[in-house]
Amino acid sequence: MSDHIADYVAPSLTVGSLFSGIGGFDLGLEAAGLRVLWQSEIEPYCNKVLAARWPHVPNHGDIRQIDWSTVERVAVLCGGFPCQDISRAGRRAGIGGVKSGLWSEVYRAVRSLRPDYLLLENSTSLTVQGLEVVASDLAEIGYDTEWDCLPAQAFGASHIRDRIYVLAYPSGGRHRTSDQTVFAGWTSSQLHGRWPAQPRMARITDGVPHRVDRVRSLGNAVCPPVAEWLGERLLAAHIDGGVSA
C-alpha cells in the first residue's frame, strides 16, 4: 500500500459483502483499509467462519429475502455471485440459470443502495456467459463498468485460479479523471509474494482459517491478496479522483 493511502483515514469506504463465503473479499478489502459493515451468506459452515472472524458484523442471510430499504448503505458493495451456471465445469445455463441467476438479486441491491463502487468476482467464462447482461443492467441504472481477469498465481498463490473482476461506479462521477482504469498497470512482478503461500493447502496463509472445507468453502473463496490490491486501487480512486498506474 502506498504511503499516502496507508496514512489516509477513509471512514466513508464501508463495505457490504454479498455471498460472503469464508470472507475472502472481506479479508482483502480490510487489509487495504476498508471496513466491513455487514455480510450476506447462507451456507452453515461458512457462517460459522464469518461469526468467528467478524463477531460484531451482522449477517443478513439469504440475499433473496433482504429488504434493502432497511439495510445500511455502503460505499463498496462486493461479492462473488454463484458461477455454477457460468463456469466451464458447471451447468452452462448461463447467467439466467438457477444459481448464477442470483445476479438479479445483486442488481436489486445496487438499484436500492446506490453504492459508490460495485466489485464482483466470477469465473472467466462470464465474458461469454453473461457479462453483457451485467454491463447492460448496470448501464440502465446509471453505472459504468470495467473488468479484467486476474490470476491468483500473480499474487503469490501456487495455483493459477484465473478469475474475472468487474468494477462498476456511477456514470459521470469523480471515480475516474483519465483514460486509465482501476485495473491498469498491474504486472505479476509487482504483485507476486504479497501474501505468503501455504504449500500444503496450495492457497494463502494469512487470514484463511486452518482446516476449512476445501470444496464448500476454500475452493469457492475470493483470493484475499487480489481483493486487497483492488481495495488499494479503490482508495486511490476515491482519494485522487482517478487512478495512476
Residue 10's domain is classified under what CATH number? 3.40.50.150
What grid cell was written down for 30?
Answer: 480490510
In this predicted structure, what is the pLDDT of residue 152? 81
For residues 180-205, average pLDDT: 54
Global confidence as pTM: 0.82
When divided into structural domains, the chain yields a total of: 1
Q: What pLDDT band is residue 145 in, cutting at 50, 70 and 90?
A: very high
Q: Does the pLDDT value for residue 21 go beyond 80? A: yes
Q: What pLDDT band is residue 245 in, cutting at 50, 70 and 90?
A: very low
Q: Taking all residues of the chain, what is their mean pLDDT, rounded to a whole number?
A: 80
For residue range 79-100, list pLDDT tens digits in order.
Answer: 999 888 887 665 667 888 888 9
Structural domain range at position 122: 3-240
Residue 59 included in any domain: yes
Q: Does the pLDDT value for residue 109 go beyond 70? A: yes
For residue range 193-229, list pLDDT tens digits in order.
Answer: 555 555 444 444 445 554 544 555 666 778 888 899 9
In this predicted structure, what is the pLDDT of residue 90? 57
Residue 30 included in any domain: yes
In this predicted structure, what is the pLDDT of residue 136? 97
For residues 32-43, average pLDDT: 96
Residue 245 included in any domain: no
For residue range 51-65, list pLDDT tens digits in order.
Answer: 999 999 999 999 999
Q: Does the pLDDT value for residue 70 go beyond 50? A: yes
Residue 230 included in any domain: yes
C-alpha 67: how far from chain center:
21
